[in-house]
């Protein structure tokens, strides 16, 4: 057990390959968004970058079922971002825009509901700490608007990729940004000297991830198999082992990523 709020037990679903994994997650996401809109009138989703994460978005955009969603009542957030220029192809948001956001805008998604993390040429310039504070303020404003009483809005689904080293969002194992105390009082942190390029990033913190109703870890590929097995064995040094949703924690894998289980 981690100390990050109430936890739901991990459920594992294995799909034959990356393509079917992405298609199944996209279908699940559309249904989850529809259900949230029925239940509370709106939906809020935290997106992930990464290979499968971006494929999921493409599949959502292509899915006929996504036309049943009222995209004007959906907010999109990011779990992490690479702190580079706004038009840099390394940015998760740039990849997502090409994959889906432009298509969903045609279906009603509002530009102001796409909550992109600030870039290094944004309003705070090359100051990732100020950019992290700015994104935290945007989260807090959304929470106030929803009247939920917390510092972040309700996240119906928060998706995460997992790196071969067991990182999630831009939280890397053994990195100083995860040392005790670093996250206290911060919803969003600046990460310097990331072991995976680019070196400067912004990330939601573990307590914020744990506030989501459902956390989905979407993982494909044999290079992730050992990290998946270690994380599912129980809380430990891997950030992936420390995340869970309040209502549901889903590990959505392809056969290769599940091969060490």
Ligand X SMILES: O=C1O[C@H](COP(=O)(O)O)[C@@H](O)[C@H](O)[C@H]1O
CA 181 to chain centre: 22
* Residue 48 engages ligand X in binding (rule: CB under 6 A): yes
Q: How far is CA 175 from CA 24, 34, 84, 167, in A?
A: 33, 38, 20, 10
Distance between CA atoms of 153 and 136, rounded to whole angstroms? 11
Q: Which of 59, 75, 80, 214 binds ligand X (CB under 6 A)?
A: 80
Query: Which residue number places its CB atom closest to ligand X?
Result: 161
* Residue 128 engages ligand X in binding (rule: CB under 6 A): no
Distance between CA atoms of 98 and 42, rounded to whole angstroms? 24
Nearer to ligand X, 49 or 207 (CB): 49
Paired tokens of 238 = 């891997």
CB of 41 to ligand X, least distance (A): 29
DSSP 176: G
Residue for token digits 């494929």?
A: 55
Nearer to ligand X, 90 or 126 (CB): 90
Nearer to ligand X, 39 or 196 (CB): 196
Q: Which of 118, 153, 163, 207 binds ligand X (CB under 6 A)?
A: 163
Q: Which of 37, 55, 133, 170 binds ligand X (CB under 6 A)?
A: 170
Distance between CA atoms of 179 and 162, rounded to whole angstroms? 20
**Site residues (CB under 6 A) for ligand X?**
48-53, 80, 92, 160-161, 163, 170, 196
């Amino acid at each position: 057990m981690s100390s990050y709020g109430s936890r739901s037990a991990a459920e594992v679903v294995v799909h034959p390959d990356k393509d079917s994994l992405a298609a199944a997650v996209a279908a699940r996401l559309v249904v989850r968004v529809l259900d949230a809109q029925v239940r509370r009138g709106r939906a809020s989703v935290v997106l992930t970058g990464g290979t499968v994460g971006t494929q999921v978005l493409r599949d959502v955009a292509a899915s006929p079922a996504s036309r049943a969603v009222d995209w004007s009542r959906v907010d999109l957030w990011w779990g992490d971002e690479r702190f580079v220029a706004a038009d840099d192809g390394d940015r998760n948001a740039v990849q997502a825009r090409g994959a889906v956001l432009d298509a969903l805008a045609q279906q009603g998604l509002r530009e102001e509901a796409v909550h992109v993390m600030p870039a290094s040429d944004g309003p705070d310039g090359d100051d990732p700490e100020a950019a992290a504070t700015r994104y935290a303020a945007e989260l807090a404003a959304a929470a106030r608007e929803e009247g939920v009483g917390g510092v972040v809005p309700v996240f119906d689904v928060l998706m995460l990729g997992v790196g071969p080293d067991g990182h999630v969002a831009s939280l890397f194992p053994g990195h100083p940004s995860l040392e005790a105390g670093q996250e206290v009082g911060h919803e969003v942190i600046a990460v310097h000297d990331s072991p995976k390029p680019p070196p400067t990033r912004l990330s939601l913190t573990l307590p914020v991830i744990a506030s989501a109703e459902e956390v989905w870890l979407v993982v494909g590929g044999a290079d992730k198999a050992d990290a998946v097995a270690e994380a599912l064995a129980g809380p430990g040094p891997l950030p992936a082992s420390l995340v869970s949703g309040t209502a549901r924690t889903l590990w959505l894998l392809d056969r290769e990523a599940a091969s060490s289980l």
